[in-house]
Each structure stands twice: as C-alpha cells, then as structure tokens.
Structure 1
Amino acid sequence: MNIKDIIKQKRLECGYTMKELAEKVGVSEATVSRWESGNLATMKHTKIMLLAKALKISPAMLFDAPASPSLSLTQQEETHIKKYRQLDADGKERVDYVLNMEYKLANERAEKEEESLG
C-alpha cells in the first residue's frame, strides 16, 4: 500500500474530514489533499510525526514498514530497555516524562532548522 493510500484509509478510519486532519497536523486542507493524491515531495519530518500521531499509527506505518521485525537496536538501546523494564510504575513514568520532553525539544529544534532553510 502506498503512503497516500495509508493516509486516506487511516483518516477515514478515524472519521476525520480532510479539514479536521489538516487542523490536527497544522497544515492546510489542500496539503492533506496533495498528500492523499501522492504529492509528498515536500512533507517535512515534523509533519510526518504529527500526521502519524493524529492517525493513531506509528510513523513507520506511513511507509508500510513493519515496526518491530526490522527494528535493530544498538547495545546501549538494549541496555536501556532492560533497565526500563526493571523500573516500577513511578520510575517508568519519570523516564517517559524526560524522554517525551527531550523528544519535544528535538522536534522543535528540527522545525526551527527546517524553517530557517526555507
């Protein structure tokens, strides 16, 4: 399935109009229409992330890629996951909070960089 088909299918499954999805992602309705028509050349990383969130899917699903089977982790990532699994609920909540904040900051930096590049 193509990205354009995935976007449209998931939008309809969520019950969104193009306008509603556009508002959730922060783009125009015409942009959503272009995405669903296959014009994805100017799709920014930050918009892919917001689109995936709005459609309640992983960004990998937009590219019809299986999320888990092809996932390869570094040794450090495996160690972090093992440590995370040993935490209690409060510890996991704190780690999740810090990770989400760092992720948000990284996206904001990327967005500013994209804006400065034009």
Structure 2
Amino acid sequence: MDKRTEILKKLIDETGLNQKAFAEKVNLPYTTLRSMLQRGIGNASVDNVIKVCKGLGITTEDLEKLANGEKLNKSENALPELNSKDEKDIQIELQKMIDGLSAQNGYAAFDGQTLDGMDDEDKELLIASLENSLRLAKRLSKQKFTPKKFRK
C-alpha cells in the first residue's frame, strides 16, 4: 500500500467518523471508498480522490506533500470561513447583480448579448463566476478587517 493511501486512512480515522459515515459525508459509495483504501488510491479515479481529499479539508497537492514527509503550512494568513450570515449576504448581493444584468434593466451586455440572450451554459458560468468572486471578496475582507485576537 502506498504512503498516500495510508495517510488518507489515518486522516479519515482522525475525523472521528467510520469509513461508511465518511463515505456518505463526501457523497461516495462506501464500497468505492473501501476499495480505494484496500487497493490503494493509485487505482482510484481522480474524481474520487478529489472528493475524499475535499472531505478531509485538504487538496491533492497537500496529500502529495504529506506523502513526501512535508508538513502542511496552515498559516494564520489563511482565509477565514464564511458563516451563514455571510452566505445569506452573498446570495442577496448575487441576486442584485443578476437583476442588474438582465435585459429589462439593460445595465450590461456581453459581446452584443444581454444576460437573457445568453445560452444556459454561459449564463450558469457567469453566475458561478460572480458568486465565487463575491465569496473571495467576503473572505478577504473578513481577513483584513477582523482583529487578530478574534480570529480562530
């Protein structure tokens, strides 16, 4: 068994969940997770490895660093997480932006098209991009304006 698989097993154990509960948490069939951990993640699909890593709060790059014996640098400069109030504020602001981009208001056009004239895929990508930008801006502002003594 390779080092990465051993690390995943250890990290899953540290969550306090059994493997079946962890598999449910990351929306992965239990048999798939069990197979990954028994046969090694070298045989697993990349998507499944990413799901497991995400569920553990690490990236695949972090997993490689741990496998190579490196320490993860969880600095105090890491961006703070968003709470439910922040999420609500983001959704309100996102809706305002979407309303401002609609054809009836005419605030913006993209390559000669309004938001209403775009195909569904382009519209979804634009909205996802706006939402991600709002999330990042909120996290950056929380980091910048939260005094160190109140940071977790």
Q: TM-score, normalised by structure 1?
A: 0.49
TM-score, with structure 2 as normaliser:
0.39
Structure possessing the higher relative contact order (Cα contacts under 8 Å, 6 or more residues apart): 1
Query: Of the two, which has the highest radius of gyration?
Result: 2
